[in-house]
Structure 1
Amino acid sequence: MAEPRNRYSGVSLALHWVIAFAVLAQVLLIAAHDKTEGALSREFVTLHKSVGVTILVLTLARIGWRLAHPAIALPDGMPRWEKLVARTTHVLFYALLIAMPMTGWLASSAGGREFAWFGLFDWPLLPVGGGRETASRLMGVHGLVMKGLYVLIALHVLAALKHQFVNRDNVLHRMIPLIPRRP
């Protein structure tokens, strides 16, 4: 019988960390937009939109990869409720990482605000009407999703640290190759 996998695949690791750093970039881009004005501010927003739709595409790729390559087993000693919370958190991450760029894309589309994906080609607008009012409501939803994503990120990081320093069960080793496996 084959030994169970104890690490995620290179593709899973790459998608996880590229998406994580892209989300961090989004926070920094909006902070830069808020601190600037004029053309520079608009450039930060355009870059934010490009990174956002990239997160959407990467998240869809990650879901496809995950469906074809199921998650590795959680530690045997982990309580059932923690396993349920871990799996639920991952599903919520996927949902929010889709909802976040979709609400932004819908808002841009409703407002008729086109953009070029990293300056390479025009990203298509969705067939959504409603103008500024609809765009504003969608941006409100975008902001709520962002807050939910922040809560999930905080829970995710705290849980990873708990597993590393309290449980000492190699969960963090599975996603950060540089952390040595504990015996």
Structure 2
Amino acid sequence: MAEPRNRYSTVSLTLHWLIAVLVVVQIFVVSDANTDGPNAGFWIGLHKSTGLSILVLTLVRLGWRIANPAIALPADQPKWQRVLARATHVLFYVVLLALPLTGWLASSAAGRDIVWYGLFQWPLLPIGGGRETAGQLMDIHRALPKLLYVLLALHVLGALKHQFINRDNVLHRMMPFIPRRP
């Protein structure tokens, strides 16, 4: 019988951390200091490009995850914690897909061009509705980060719990530079 994996693949690690960095970038890019004033168009364009990059990378990560299932959680972890961990991961995928999709749909409904990092025109989706539909989609788009922040907090707290309370090797799976405990 093969020995169970104790670390995620390089592809999984790269996608996880690249998406994480882009999410943090998004938090700073859309701050009020950046979205008001003479350079607002630049920051909004950067926000749209980064959001669409997150969408594409999340789709790739989801495909990779389907082809390469997650490592089993520790057997001694209570069932409610395993359920919470899996639910958090599923909701991460939902939010990381829904946030850029609602932004893309809102831009499309309003007929606002998206130029991906100044390199090419990103296609708008065939959706009508104008400003009213765009406004409704933006309401959803603006509400979703609150759920994302809750998920981020749960994710980080869970990782810290595993590292400092459980003292197992769960954090090592996604951060290989952390020494593996015997």
Name the TM-score class by shorter chain: over 0.9
Q: State how far apart, in whole Å, the 2-side matches of 1:18 and 1:94 are.
A: 14
Give the CA deviation at 1:5: 0.2
2 CA distance for matches of 1:139 and 1:53? Answer: 15
User: Structure 1: which 5+ runs fail to align?
Assistant: none
* Cross-structure match for 2:26: 26
For 1:163, the equivalent position in structure 2 comes to: 162
Q: 2 CA distance for matches of 1:8 and 1:99?
A: 25
Equivalent residues, number = 181
Once the two structures are superposed, the pairs formed by residues 95-134 of structure 1 within 5 Å of their partners are: 95-134=94-133
> Structure 2 stretches of 5 or more lacking a match?
none
Structure 2: distance between partners of 1:182 and 1:78:
17
Verify the 8 A CA contact 1:33 1:42 in the aligned structure 2.
no
Q: In 2, Cα distance between the equivalents of 1:76 and 1:18? A: 29
Amino acid at match of 1:2: A
TM-score, normalised to structure 1, is 0.96
Once the two structures are superposed, the pairs formed by residues 126-165 of structure 1 within 5 Å of their partners are: 126-165=125-164
Q: Which runs of 4+ in 1 moved over 3 A?
A: none
What's the counterpart of residue 93 of structure 2? Answer: 94
TM-score, length of structure 2 as denominator length: 0.97
Q: CA deviation at 1:54?
A: 0.5
Question: RMSD between aligned alpha carbons?
Answer: 0.9
Deviation string 1:70-129 (CA, Å, 9 cap, x unpaired) is: 111111211111111111111110011000000000111111110210111100111111
Distance in 2, matches of 1:114 and 1:146, equals 23
Letter of the structure 2 residue corresponding to residue 145 of structure 1: L
Deviating more after overlay: 127-136 vs 158-167: 127-136
Work out the CA distance in 2 between the residues paired with 1:123 and 1:45: 14
**Which residue matches 1:11?**
11
SS in 1 for 2:11: helix
- 1:132-153: per-residue Cα shift (whole Å, max 9, x none)? 1211111110011111111101
Give matches, 1:42-121, under 5 Å. 42-121=41-120
**Alpha-carbon distance in 2 for matches of 1:47, 1:144:** 20
Give the letter aligned to residue 177 of structure 1. P
Q: What CA distance in whole angstroms lies between the structure 2 residues aligned with 1:133 and 1:37?
A: 24
Secondary structure at the counterpart of residue 150 of structure 1: helix
Alpha-carbon distance, 1:33 to partner: 2.2
CA offsets, 1:10-44, max 9 Å, x none? Answer: 0000000000000000011101423x412x11101
Q: Which residue does the alignment assign to 1:179?
A: 178
